[in-house]
Structure 1
Amino acid sequence: MKKKIIQLLFLLVPFLCNSQEYIDLLSVNYGKSQKTTFENSSIDTYISTFQTNLTLPVVIDEKYTVITGVNFSSYNLQLFPDSNNNNLYSANLRAGLRIAHSEHWSGVYLFLPKIASDFINLTTEDIYVGGIALLKYKRDKNFGSTFGLYASSEAFGVTMTPLFGLYYHSPDKRFEMNFLLPNDADFNYSLTDKTKIGIDFLGHGNSYKLTTDNVRYSYVQNNSIDFSSYVQQAVFDKRVLLRLKVGYNLNQFKIYPLDQKLDLQILALKFGDNREKLFEDKSNTFLLKVEAIYRFDLSKVKK
């Protein structure tokens, strides 16, 4: 039985997003901002975030791997100075294929439906449909690159994001760089076999329909950027990674009437945007975050 499991895990090598010799099967993190005030207001507020991500690859053969998974995230914050805290939720599913096109080239093609709102009086109108296509080049075990496109429907309309990524792991295995812009980036250095220090960047972009007095008349468009430094400690034979992060968060929550949308958004470019903004909360603040990752090391399987 153990031999069959090892053989199956060895087949996961083609599933790798770039060239890294590991897969993060599960991650969980929780963060809380320092107390901050609304723009042009003396009202104090906090922002709490929670996110968990599960990836379950299913190997068909050396060319095809089915990719499944789920991501759940939430915000707890005060959107208006004179209101109670709001909860904003997003539940995302992933389903698609990884295809090995050649020795150096592969593609990942995913269908990404999601439900995003305050989860009050949920309806089918809270379901949004998206997808991502990534073309990946693996030069060798230390270097890879990625090109792709993400598109999704949102409460405000349709958004499209071109993607570009790089992965590099130094020959001595101490320095690692892994990013997929404009979504995320990570740079880390190994101090010891189990301890790393690093800096990372994470961009958030989502929209949520809001319910007020049991009536929906608006939605919030969120764009946030986290800049963090972290210390990472590996435990349980380096299968579990524990991270403590300290950083700075740029938050922007814009609220619009439910019936007002734009034609198309590409990165920061908005086409046909004639919306009337009801309220905007810019709350930039320091943040503290804890994170746990379950990582499978494929290099051990190879040995």
Structure 2
Amino acid sequence: MKRKIIQLLFLILPFLCNAQEYIDLFSVNYGKSQKTTFEDSSVNTSISTFQTNLTLPIVLNEKYIAVTGVNFSSYNLQLFPDSNNNHLYSTNLRAGLSVKHSGHWSGLYLFLPKVASDYINVSSEDVYLGGLALLKYKRNENFGYGLGLYGSSEAFGMSVVPIVTFYYHSPNKRFEINAFMPNDADINYSLTDKTKIGVDFLGHGNSYKLTTENVRSTYVVNNSIDFSAYVQQGLFNKKILLRLKMGYLLNDFRVYPIDQKLDLQILVLRFGDNRTRLFQDKSNTILFKMEAIYRFDLSKVKK
């Protein structure tokens, strides 16, 4: 029975990855920024972030893998200089298929609904629908890339994001690049068998409806970027990875009236944007973060 489970897990490799020989089944991280001042204000504030991600691939046969999972994230921050802290939450579900088209080509097709708001009086108006289509090419065991498209409804209207993926692992397995742009990228180097150092980039793009005195009157759009350097230590035969990060957080939180939307957003291009911005926080600060990952290493199964 154990051997069959391992064989099924190994079949997942060509589907969910470009060329890497592992799957991150679960991760959790917590971050907190240093105190910073609002733009054009002397008021101090900080940002706390929490995120957890669970991926559950289910092997259907040698060609199809059902991909399921859930991601939860939260922000705790002060959006206005004269207000209390706001809590912003997002729960994202994943359901779809990974398809092996040939020896080199595979595709990932996901339905991505989410519930995003301050979670006060949650209703169907807080539900947004999205999807991802990604075509990947695995050139060899060390190199792969892909192109795709992500689209989602948001509080401000429709958002479309072109996706480019890239993966490289050096022949000696010490140097690695893994990118899913424009959302995230990771470059790392193995100092020892269990210790790595690296730098990563993480882009945040989400919208949340806000409740003020029990009334939904505004929404906030978050377009922030984290740049971090980290040290990673592997435990329990490198199944558990612990990361300590320090970096720089570029904040951009914009608040708009709830009835004002744009026609379409493609990356940073906004079409039909006649909205009235009520407030914008563009403060930047140092970020500290702790992260834990449960990783299934398929290269050891292969051996």
TM range (shorter): over 0.9
Aligned residue number for residue 170 of structure 1: 170
Query: If the length of structure 2 is used for normalisation, what is the TM-score?
Result: 0.99
Partner of 1:91: 91
Task: Write out per-residue CA displacement over residues 80-113 of structure 1, whole angstroms, 9 at most, x where no aligned residue.
Answer: 0111000000000000000000000000000000
CA drift of 1:157 comes to 0.2
Query: What is the DSSP-based 3-state SS (H/G/I as helix, E as strand, rest coil) of the residue aligned with 2:39?
Result: coil
Structure 2 matches for 1:276-287, cutoff 5 A?
A: 276-287=276-287
Task: Find out whether 1:58 has 2:58 as its counterpart.
Answer: yes
Q: Secondary structure at the match of 1:6?
A: helix
Letter in 2 for 1:43: V
Is the 1:16–1:22 contact (alpha carbons within 8 Å) kept by the matching residues of 2? Answer: no
Q: Is the 8 A contact 1:14 1:62 kept in 2?
A: no
Q: Following TM superposition, by how much is the alpha carbon of 1:8 offset from its aligned partner in structure 2, in angstroms?
A: 2.1
**Counterpart position of 2:161:** 161
* Deviation sequence 1:6-56 (CA, Å, 0-9, x none): 222222223332110000000000000010011111111110000000000
Partner SS, residue 40 of structure 1: coil
Aligned twin of 2:71 = 71
Q: Secondary structure at the match of 1:14?
A: helix
Question: Is residue 231 from structure 1 mapped to residue 231 from structure 2 by the alignment?
Answer: yes
- 1:157-201 residue CA offsets vs partner (Å, 9 max, x unmatched): 000000111100000001000101111110000000000000000
Contact 2:22–2:295 under 8 Å retained in 1: yes
CA distance in 2, matches of 1:269, 1:72: 27
User: How many pairs align?
Assistant: 303
Q: Which amino acid aligns with 2:155?
A: A
Does the 8 A contact of 1:134 with 1:146 survive in 2?
yes
Measure, in 1, the Cα distance between the counterparts of 2:5 and 2:132. Answer: 30
CA distance in 2, matches of 1:118, 1:16: 32
Tell whether the 8 Å contact from 2:194 to 2:238 is kept in structure 1 after alignment.
yes
CA contact (8 A) 1:199 1:228 kept: yes
Per the alignment, residue 266 of structure 1 pairs with 266
Please give the secondary structure, in 1, of the residue aligned with 2:8.
Answer: helix
Cα separation, 2, equivalents of 1:132 and 1:214: 34
**Aligned match of 1:254:** 254
Partner of 2:27: 27
**Cα distance in 2, alignment partners of residues 302 and 34 from structure 1:** 44
Distance 2:159 2:221 in 1: 12
Q: How big is the shift at 1:296?
A: 0.2
**1:61-88 Cα shifts (integer Å, max 9, x gaps):** 1100000000000000000011100000
Where does 1:1-303 land on structure 2 (aligned, <5 Å)?
1-303=1-303
Asked if structure 2 preserves the Cα contact closer than 8 Å seen for 1:189 and 1:196, the reply is: yes
> Counterparts of 2:203 and 2:83 in 1: how far apart (Å)?
27
Aligned letter for 1:152?
S
The one-letter code of the counterpart of 2:202 is: L
Q: Percent identity?
A: 75
SS in 1 for 2:9: helix
1:58 CA drift (Å) = 0.2
Query: Structure 1 CA distance, aligned partners of 2:37 and 2:214?
Result: 27
Which whole-Å CA distance do the structure 2 matches of 1:177 and 1:2 have between them?
Answer: 32
Kindly provide the amino acid, as one letter, of the partner of residue 175 in structure 1. Answer: F
**Cα distance in 1 for residues equivalent to 2:88 and 2:242:** 26
Report if the CA contact (8 A) 1:160-1:267 is conserved. yes
Decide whether the 8 Å contact of 2:15 with 2:106 is kept in 1: no
Specify the SS of the correspondent of 2:83.
coil
CA contact (8 A) 2:115 2:126 kept: yes
In structure 1, stretches of 5+ residues that fail to align are none
Counterpart of 1:39 in 2: which secondary structure?
coil
Q: Secondary structure at the match of 1:7?
A: helix
Alpha-carbon distance in 1 for matches of 2:119, 2:208:
9
- The alignment's TM-score, normalised by the length of structure 1, stands at 0.99
- The amino acid of 2:265's aligned partner reads Q
